[in-house]
Amino acid sequence: MNWTWFHRLGSPPSFYRFAGRLAPWLGGFGLLLLAYGWYAGLVLAPPDYQQKDAFRIIYVHVPAAAVSLSLYVLMAVAGAVALIWRMKLAEAVMVATAPVGASFTALALVTGMLWGKPMWGAYWVWDARLTSELVLLFLYCGVIGLHAAFDDARAGARACALLAIVGLVNVPIVHFSVEWWNSLHQGSTVLKFGRPAISADMARPLYAGLLATYCLCAHAILRRAQNELLLRERNTRWVRELATELGGGARVS
Amino acid sequence: MSPEFWKMGGYALYVWGSFGIAAGIYLWNLIAPRLRRRAILETLLDDE
């Protein structure tokens, strides 16, 4: 197999250009798909027979919860690559993923509370699913804080990578918590074997919202990784050339 | 949209609250990297 594309993509200037070309498409497609998903979820989908209109919170809660776990895995894998091969791009991706993942973990928790109050009668219970998702948020915040605490970005990245990898044990705990422990939280609707436990006109907006959220997260991570590379490579020729090329600074978007 | 739609069957606060906060998070993820990039490019130009 020919690996030159991989090595080329791993070099910061090539990745910077690649991300710059890909990100607008992901952002535009993600926004369109999200608009459809929210419209279909709020307007077209029929009310649930038990939860009535309150079930519509699923269209923001489930995509947020799904990316909160996926992005953690991405962050830990990028951390492992950064730790083993000392790859700058992997460090940038790891650092870029943390705030995006943290924001969606917080969103999953808050929308879960807003869903829990009318359905369970309480905003919060110290249940396995809720507690482990809260630990996930703390892990993200730990990586962000640790990165900010180091003056040397490369030494900071090594510490962050270790924390991210150790925290990976929490991911299966979050995912399987509803099966391992008695929980108020319902079981999986989408990610399970056999037929999904949801009718098609309710499922379509959910799948659209899921795909949209993954695209928009990818967009945000690419943009943030670009920023990280600019900072890390600030003294190299390609960044200097880019900065002078963009000239006005404040005027570029 | 009919007034019934906005009431969300009595769950307006929870449904619109969730979607409102979600809109804020999605928007922040779009805008924050852009602002940061602007700030970085400005400091890079100042260095020269």
Q: Where residue A7 falls among pLDDT bands split at 50, 70, 90?
A: confident
How far does the CA of residue A154 sit from the closest CA of chain B (Å)?
18
Q: Tell me if A4 is assigned to some domain.
A: no
Half-sphere exposure of A170 (CA within 13 A, CB side): 24
Using alpha carbons, list the distances in angstroms from residue A62 to A17, A69, A113, A184, B9: 33, 11, 13, 16, 21
Enumerate helices (H) and strands (E) in chain B, giving the number of each: 2, 0
CATH, residue A213: 1.20.120
Average pLDDT (A109-120) is: 95
* Band (A246; pLDDT cuts 50, 70, 90): confident
pLDDT of residue A183: 80
pLDDT bracket for residue B3 (50, 70, 90): confident
CA distance, residue B35 to nearest chain A CA (Å): 9
Is A74 at the interface with chain B, CB within 8 A?
no
Band (A191; pLDDT cuts 50, 70, 90): low
In a domain, A251, yes or no: no
Least CB–CB distance from A250: residue in B13, B42, B47: B42
Mapped to the 3 state alphabet, what secondary structure does A18-65 carry?
A: HHHHHHHHHHHHHHHHHHHHHHHHHHHCCCECCCEHHHHHHHHHHHHH
Task: Taking residues A162-184, report their average pLDDT.
Answer: 91
Question: Domain of A31?
Answer: 10-189+196-246
> For the packed helices A237-246 and B12-47, what is the interaxial angle rounded to 10 degrees?
100
Residue B48 has pLDDT above 80, yes or no: no
Band of the pLDDT at A173, cuts 50, 70, 90? very high
Mean pLDDT value across residues B31-42: 94
Give the tens place of pLDDT for each residue, A44-63: 999 888 888 999 999 999 99
Indicate whether A1 belongs to any domain.
no
Domain count, chain A: 1
Predicted pLDDT of residue A253: 46
Q: What is the pLDDT of residue B37?
A: 94
Q: Do the chains contact at B22 and A111, CB–CB below 8 Å?
A: yes
State yes or no: pLDDT of A90 exceeds 70.
Answer: yes
Predicted pLDDT of residue A247: 66
Question: Does residue A4 register a pLDDT over 90?
Answer: no
Count Cβ atoms within 10 A of the Cβ of residue A250 and give its class: 0-12 exposed, 13-18 middle, 19 or more buried. Answer: exposed
Local confidence band at A40 (pLDDT 50, 70, 90 cut-offs): very high
Which of B15, B17, B33 has the CB atom closest to A227's CB atom?
B33
Kindly indicate the confidence band of residue A99, based on its pLDDT and cuts at 50, 70 and 90.
very high
Question: What is the residue extent of each domain of chain B?
Answer: 19-48
Burial class (CB in 10 A: 0-12, 13-18, 19+), A133: buried
Q: How far is B4 from chain A (nearest CA, A)?
A: 11
The pLDDT assigned to A252 comes to 47
Greater model confidence, A242 or A28: A28
User: What is the mean pLDDT of the segment spanning B26-48?
Assistant: 90
Q: Is residue A241 part of a domain?
A: yes
How confident is the prediction for chain A on average, in pLDDT? 91
Q: What is the pLDDT of residue A193?
A: 59
Residue of B nearest to A28 (CA): B30
Q: How far is the alpha carbon of B42 from chain A, nearest alpha carbon, in Å?
A: 5
Answer yes or no: do B15 and A54 touch at CB < 8 A. Answer: yes
Note whether A249 contacts B37, CB cutoff 8 Å.
Answer: no
